Structure 1
Amino acid sequence: MRDDTLRLGVAPDPSHADWTQQRIRTPDGVWLDGALLAGPAGTRSAIVLANGFTRSWRHEPTQRIARRLCVHGSVQMFDFRGHHRSGGVSTVGKAEVTDLQSVVTHLRAHGYRTITTVGFSMGASVVLRHAAEHGGVTAVVAVSGPGQWYYRGTRPMRLLHRGVEHPLGRLALRTAYGVRVTNRRWDPAPADPTQAAARLSSTPLLVVHGDSDDFFPVDHAERIHTAAGAHSELWIEPGFGHAERAISTELVERIGTWVAGVTSPASAPPS
């Protein structure tokens, strides 16, 4: 497989002692490229970062987010199938739920008891569906996520659909971004993110969206929040654009504080 990471401006392999690079295998045989950033000594809490389409844990924005969140627990990063050094082909949000479940299972096997999933853009749709279909996570954060499938109401989303639906577009994604996309259409389509949010039951959900997002208008976030009900919190952030590349350090730190608040023993309901 061709390696475009350096040409694409991806951060070099971490050499810090607190990074542990990993390969995690999914039940359908796909190897995922990932890394764990160690949190406080003895922690049994983990935060999983689920990137947006074309993004990688090796990109500087994701590593910056991880370093800000690791004061609250170990941070698990990984690349979805079809992305960069991970195997397989991207299904743009459908089979990626299997990837996330494999990562959560991996963390459970290594002794982590409290696991929060934090997804960006496509990753936001994946963390919602994962929590609805598999459960087993303590809390969910959906940042800059779509509220519905097949949305084409903005220019970036029209371009994205052209990229994934046409052979030349898929070639461009593979050549320019190192992302290999399946040529198969969804059949059937999975539950959309709003439907998934309605099935979260009592799992705490934080929905974060910018009023300057050029991919999805704020009504996508509002629908997800409304569907999730009383256990959901909605932050509409002034001036925030889209996902990992636009998120500020201050907003990452506020998300970390929210995660710590809902996952601490003191926040758990009495048994």
Structure 2
Amino acid sequence: MDTAAEAYDERLRVSPITSGGRRVFLLTSDGVSIDAEYRPARSGSSQLAIVVAHGFTGALERPAVRRTARDLSAFGAVVTFSFRGHGGSGGRSTVGDLEVLDLDAAVRWARELGYRRVATVGFSMGGSVVLRQAGRLGNRTEVLNTGPEVDAAGTEVDAADTQVDAVVSVSSPARWYYRGTAPMRRVHWLVTRRTGRAVTRFGLKTRINSRDWDPVPLSPVESVPYIAPTPLLIVHGDQDGYFPLDHPRSLAAAAGPDGAELWIEPGFGHAENAAGPDLLARIGQWLTGRVAEM
């Protein structure tokens, strides 16, 4: 490759929809390599692609993420990927900040594959990312910590390529720095302490950026008002040990009247590890219903 632009184009080069899945590495607009996988819809005729965004310390190889992809493929094609610092992806996790660029790359790939409709389904950290990514498209005043988004050739990224048609956020926090539960206090120890980051790196295969956010990105609850008119579903369990019910309720309230649908799921715990086939099927049905209305 003679230029950075050619290298960027080569990493993103894909062919139209095929009958089989594929594994690729995508390049984000800030130059991070993202491990991604495409699974065609089981029906073979769907024009909907569902991009799944996993939780903190997850990856596309994790059994819960693979099970989620399999179940959602009954309703559309599925793109899974590992966030930066997770699994086979490059870079280091910023725990919900620059991960919006990883999601952008996955959505862009779904568009490149030829899908007319693209929806995002995020869990926990991924749930906050899908809210921020959709809200950022409606709030062009937010500047990410990288500055203006450009590709390797220095060309500003077209936001239309990352536009989504529906958003599902499962087990998402509403605000940053929440330490009100024991599991979240453990997460903060893993993220903020050198020993915790070492445990996460070697024990959970997740590499975390040690720098503090500067500036602090908009929180999920601050992003939600900018998502409308894109259909939004907020899903949360009444047995979630990480984030109590004031989080989903505040997200739904921030969306405004008719801005979001809220499901409080009895007996449901946290994120993709707790999401069973019945809940995933209802999420898939909600997505196909919203897309059919467009």
Task: Say yes or no: TM over 0.5.
Answer: yes
Contact 2:235 2:265 in 1 (8 A): yes
State the alpha-carbon separation in 1 of the partners of residues 116 and 254 from structure 2: 27
Match of 1:38 in 2: 40
Cα deviation for residue 231 of structure 1 reads 2.6
Aligned with residue 53 of structure 2, among 50, 70, 76: 50
Gaps of 5+ in 2: 1-18, 139-162
Once residues 200 and 42 of structure 1 are traced to their aligned partners in structure 2, the CA distance between those partners, rounded to angstroms, is: 28
Superposed CA offset, 1:117-137 (max 9, x none): 000000000000000113611
Distance 2:108 2:39 in 1: 17
| Distance of 2:273 and 2:20 partners within structure 1 | 24
Greater alpha carbon shift after TM alignment, 255-264 vs 225-234: 225-234
* Equivalent position of 1:204 in the other structure: 231
Structure-1 separation of matches of 2:28 and 2:227: 24
Equivalent runs, 1:1-271 vs 2, <5 Å: 18-39=20-41, 40-134=43-137, 136-229=163-256, 230-264=258-292, 267-268=293-294
Distance 1:106 1:23 in 2: 10
Q: Which residue of 1 aligns with 2:8?
A: none
Q: Distance in 1 between matches of 2:22 and 2:210?
A: 34
Q: Note the C-alpha offset of 1:19.
A: 3.1
Q: What whole-Å deviation, never above 9, does each CA across 1:179-231 have from its counterpart, x for those lacking one?
A: 00001000111111011111112111000000000000011000001111213
**Structure 1 pair 18–110 and aligned structure 2 pair: CA distance change class (3 A):** closer
CA distance in 2, matches of 1:18, 1:54: 28
The Cα offsets for residues 5-36 of structure 1, whole Å up to 9 and x where unpaired, read as xxxxxxxxxxxx84311111112111111111
1:152 partner SS: coil
Contact 1:101/1:134 (CA < 8 Å) preserved in 2? no
For 2:244, give the aligned amino acid. P
The structural deviation recorded for 1:157 is 0.4
1-side partners of 2:21 and 2:110: how far apart?
Answer: 15
Q: Which runs of 4+ in 1 moved over 4 A?
A: none
- Of all paired residues, the percent bearing the same amino acid is 46
Structure 1, 133-142 or 47-56: larger mean CA deviation: 133-142
Taking the aligned partners of 1:44 and 1:169, their CA distance within structure 2 comes to 43
Unaligned runs of 5+ in 1: 1-16
How many Å separate the matches in 2 of 1:18 and 1:106? Answer: 16
Aligned length: 250
Q: CA RMSD in A?
A: 1.1
Q: 3-state SS of the aligned residue for 1:194?
A: helix
* In 2: Cα distance, 1:19 partner to 1:59 partner: 17
Q: Distance in 1 between matches of 2:237 and 2:44?
A: 34
Give the TM-score normalised by the residue count of structure 1. Answer: 0.90
Contact map agreement 2:36 2:106 (CA 8 A) in 1:
no
Q: Is the 8 A contact 1:48 1:117 kept in 2?
A: yes
